A and B are shown apart, each in its own frame.
Chain A
């Protein structure tokens, strides 16, 4: 594993190396190096299985973080190769020629995050969201509660009791009352 990390550092200028476990390492590479890096890992380092491609919406920095999780069956190790792409014009090179299974992940990322993968077959076909005409729902700026309340006729009178408030009311009744009162006045002043 250490030797592999050294080779990756030399070849693809890997940064942010994070050894989470003895058998798991994350590192990030540039967007232009990603396809070559994934291909190198598959062909020369024995990471023959694409576990998944995941995306994270970093709305503060204006980027999408893509993580390619690969698994090596011989020495039972995993790597996560991260790369960051622009959030305004999200487009990424497709790796469906390396693993046919990547089509599923790329289609899903297109549907849920709006990240385009040109050249991936049927990438524009949605899995679940037939006729969706809004922001892609997994983006951070999509307000799912607001959308649900506007669209799906919420039934009035819904209440929730989470464990924290329920135990507070049971064990510290006076304090809970005071807390509730303070919250109420603060909300009114707003």
Chain B
């Protein structure tokens, strides 16, 4: 015989496990030949940006989306949720509190997914290199496909960065998601080193 309260407890537990997937991400092997080339070409021309802003770079991304620089000329657009986007722009310094949200959002994105580090802060910490609360190298926590250096880069530099990313995707060198799956334990150890109150599932999407 079960009490009503216990039943509810069990239900809640199931609800939690149903929503999260603990399975480790898997590598998606590349197919050799013309089909992969077609995939790469298609992926390069279908970049959807996750509208997520950290630091001062998010100010530079607003004119990019709107009339002045109008990113929809290139067939790109911001999306409100990580599940609908495949390009993650880390726009400037990332504090530890933000890094937690970054990891969570990155893991919720579907393959193929690409990451762009915007600004000097994502390269080596920038002017916040000695801060107690901002990370120095983004590529130790999530794989980064391309960087746009500067403090802060103008929207023109970002557009040049998109062209660079497209080139990399067409050449088949933007394999960040596979890199993440391959070195999953290293990335997780680095993330857990700075995020002290780890209260997330190990992998969630």
Residues on A facing B (Cβ under 8 Å): 128-133, 137, 142, 144-145, 147-148, 151-155, 158
Contacts and interface: CB of A to CB of B under 8 A. Distances in A.
Nearest to A152: B136
B15 interface: no
A147 B129 contact: no
Interface-central residue, B125, B130, B197, by most chain A CB under 10 Å: B130
B131 A158 contact: no
Contact of B137 (A130, A131, A145, A152): A152
Q: Say which size band chain B's interface belongs to.
A: 20 to 34
Given A153-B137, A153-B190, A131 B130 contact: no
Contact of A155 (B96, B130, B133, B137): B137
Contacts of A137: 132-133
Nearest to B123: A155
20 contacts: A129-B96, A130-B97, A130-B195, A130-B197, A131-B195, A137-B133, A144-B132, A145-B130, A148-B129, A148-B130, A148-B132, A148-B136, A152-B135, A153-B135, A153-B140, A154-B136, A155-B123, A155-B136, A158-B124, A158-B129
B73 interface: no
A147 B124 CA distance: 16
Nearest to B197: A131
Given A148-B131, A155-B125, A158-B129, A132 B140 contact: no
Nearest to A151: B194
Contacts of B195: 130-131
A110 to B, nearest CB: 16
Given A130-B197, A131-B196, A154 B132 contact: no
Interface in B170-205: 190, 193-197
Interface of B: 95-97, 100, 123-125, 129-137, 140, 190, 193-197
A144 B190 CA distance: 19
B203 to A, nearest CB: 20
Contacts of A145: 130
Nearest to A126: B97
B49 to A, nearest CB: 26
Nearest to A129: B133
Nearest to B195: A131
A132 B196 contact: yes
A153 B135 CA distance: 8
Contacts of B100: 130
Contacts of B137: 152-155
Contacts of B135: 152-153
A154 B197 CA distance: 22
Nearest to B96: A130
A48 B84 CA distance: 50
Contact of A151 (B95, B97, B193, B197): B193
Given A130-B100, A153-B135, 4 more contacts: A128-B133, A130-B197, A153-B137, A154-B124
Nearest 6 pairs of A and B residues by beta carbon? A131-B197, A131-B196, A155-B124, A152-B136, A137-B132, A145-B130
Contacts of A151: 193-194
B55 to A, nearest CB: 13
A154 B131 contact: no
A131 B97 CA distance: 9
A131 B137 CA distance: 21
A154 B196 contact: no
A147 B96 CA distance: 14
B109 to A, nearest CB: 23
